[in-house]
């Protein structure tokens, strides 16, 4: 499988991750268990005529895609692959409410039309007139990883292509209220930045839109490369450890080669428990960082992590507020290790491409 270069990215998140400031210039702290995005002025990329019909998730997805394309100096990609855990929730909720309120009479078509998960990827295709490969994965916390794997396969088949790949999920008050009833979130959050200091029951909800331009060819704008991705469903600690070691071996690496392990610790003690074992037993020499205290927990939070990892590898610098443990290693290899509500575990291996940048 080819290594894919990240030649551009657009990240919209609860942190300042877009615009002229450097990535994560000053981390934001929140007193809430529901983190929503810092959103840009969308009129930079989308006309009023088009904006009028777009729900928030579509705006976020389209804007982050356009940012990625701009950074890669491209008008349009050759293909678009999107991961979304829950798709267009706001439109789904609107249409469901209308069905009940209006007793199935005189229903507006717009929310229904926009409720399918592939609306994000297809609206982008429409905006930039991309008639190539267009796919949407919706496998919970594997959605972004499946998109990455697909992109790597496409690029192995056609290394010269530019594939727009990303993860988008939105937080609505309805989804938050329903998920809260499942006991997923911490109550009385005083500081999200302190989320991981004391594991307890529950995490914080988040959202975000992150798109990347991936290609088999590096350019002067290459930030990092994606060297591998893997997913593990419902494995116990021992099996998970074995599979992680196997993944590294397949990539000709040992745990000691990992300069920074970015872990998907969510603050929930049940979710975070197995990280500590794996870190202490195998990654004692790596610096350890985290990201969910910055972006919240959501199905495609690993897309945020990927943006963070790429920024770190590009600048050779880890922003304040990310590190849990500093082994003073210059970042050349970053391994993102995510876990989502104990049953979806994944790895994304990112490498510096400074040596191979054209």
What residues from 125 to 144 belong to the interface with another protein (CB under 8 A)? 125-126, 129-140, 142-143
- Residue 346 pairs with which residues in a beta bridge? 231, 338
Residues 6 or more apart in contact with residue 138 via CB below 8 angstroms: 83, 84, 85, 86, 87, 117
238 binds another protein (CB under 8 A): no
Does 159 contact another protein by CB under 8 A? no
| Closest residue by Cα to residue 307 from 23, 113, 105 | 23
Q: Give the residue with the Cβ less far from another protein, 32 or 110.
A: 110
The answer to whether 13 and 38 are in contact (CB under 8 A) is yes
Q: Is 259 left (phi over 0), alpha (psi -120 to 50) or beta?
A: alpha
C-alpha 67, offset from chain centre: 15
* Interface with another protein, residue 354, by CB under 8 A: no
Total binding residues toward another protein, as defined by CB under 8 A: 63
Q: Which of residues 296-325 bind another protein (CB under 8 A)?
A: none
82 DSSP 8-state letter: E
The span of 101-109, 266-274, 284-292, 303-311 binding another protein (CB under 8 A) equals: 101-109
Using the rule CB under 8 A, which residue among 17, 62, 118, 302 binds another protein? 118
Among 156, 281, 317, 342, interactor with another protein by CB under 8 A: 156
Q: Which is nearer to another protein, 279 or 300 (CB)?
A: 300
Beta-sheet strands, E only, within the chain:
4-12, 79-83, 133-137, 162-169, 208-215, 224-233, 260-263, 287-290, 323-325, 333-340, 344-351
Q: Please report whether residue 28 would count as binding another protein according to CB under 8 A.
A: no
- At its nearest, how many Å lie between another protein and the CB of residue 209? 17
Binding of another protein by 55 (CB under 8 A): no
User: Among candidates 117, 122, 59, which has minimal Cα distance to 92?
Assistant: 117
Residue pair 293/308 in contact by the 8 Å Cβ criterion: no
Whole-number minimum distance, CB 112 to another protein, in Å? Answer: 4
Q: Which CB sits closer to another protein, 28 or 116?
A: 116
Enclosing H/E stretch for 68 = helix 56-71
Shortest distance in whole angstroms from residue 329 CB to another protein: 31
Distance in angstroms (rounded) separating the CA atoms of residues 234 and 217: 35
| Residue range at the interface with another protein (CB under 8 A); choices 105-113, 159-167, 192-200, 286-294 | 105-113
254 binds another protein per the rule CB under 8 A: no
For binding to another protein (CB under 8 A), which residues are involved? 1, 48-49, 52-53, 80, 85-87, 95-97, 99-101, 103-110, 112-119, 121-123, 125-126, 129-140, 142-143, 146, 149-150, 153, 156, 177-178, 181-182, 231, 233-235
């Amino acid at each position: 499988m080819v290594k894919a270069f990240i030649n551009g990215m657009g990240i919209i998140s609860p942190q300042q991750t877009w615009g002229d400031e450097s990535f994560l210039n000053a981390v934001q702290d929140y007193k809430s268990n529901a983190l929503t995005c810092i959103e840009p002025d969308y009129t930079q990329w989308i006309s009023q005529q088009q904006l009028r019909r777009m729900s928030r998730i579509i705006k976020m997805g389209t804007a982050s895609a356009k940012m990625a394309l701009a950074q890669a100096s491209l008008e349009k990609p050759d293909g678009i692959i999107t991961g979304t855990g829950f798709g267009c929730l706001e439109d789904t909720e609107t249409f469901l409410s209308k069905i009940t309120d209006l007793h199935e009479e005189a229903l507006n078509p717009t929310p229904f039309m926009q409720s399918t998960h592939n609306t994000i990827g297809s609206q982008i295709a429409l905006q930039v007139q991309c008639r190539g490969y267009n796919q949407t994965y919706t496998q919970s916390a594997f959605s972004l990883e499946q998109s990455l794997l697909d992109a790597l396969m496409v690029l192995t088949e056609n290394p010269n292509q530019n594939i727009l790949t990303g993860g988008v999920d939105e937080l609505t008050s309805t989804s938050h209220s329903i998920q809260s009833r499942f006991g997923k979130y911490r109550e009385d959050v005083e500081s999200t930045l302190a989320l991981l200091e004391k594991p307890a029951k529950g995490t914080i909800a988040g959202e975000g839109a992150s798109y990347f331009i991936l290609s088999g060819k590096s350019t002067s704008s290459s930030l990092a490369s994606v060297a591998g991705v893997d997913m593990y469903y419902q494995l116990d600690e021992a099996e998970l450890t074995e599979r992680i070691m196997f993944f590294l071996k397949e990539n000709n690496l040992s745990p000691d080669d990992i300069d920074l392990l970015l872990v998907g610790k969510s603050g929930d003690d049940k979710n975070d428990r197995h990280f500590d074992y794996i870190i202490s037993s195998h990654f004692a020499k790596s610096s350890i960082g985290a990201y969910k205290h910055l972006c919240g927990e959501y199905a495609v939070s690993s897309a945020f992590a990927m943006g963070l990892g790429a920024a770190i590898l590009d600048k050779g610098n880890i922003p304040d507020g990310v590190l849990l443990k500093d082994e003073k290693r210059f970042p050349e290899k970053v391994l993102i290790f995510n876990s989502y509500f104990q049953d979806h575990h994944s790895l994304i291996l990112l490498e510096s491409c400074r040596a191979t940048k054209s």
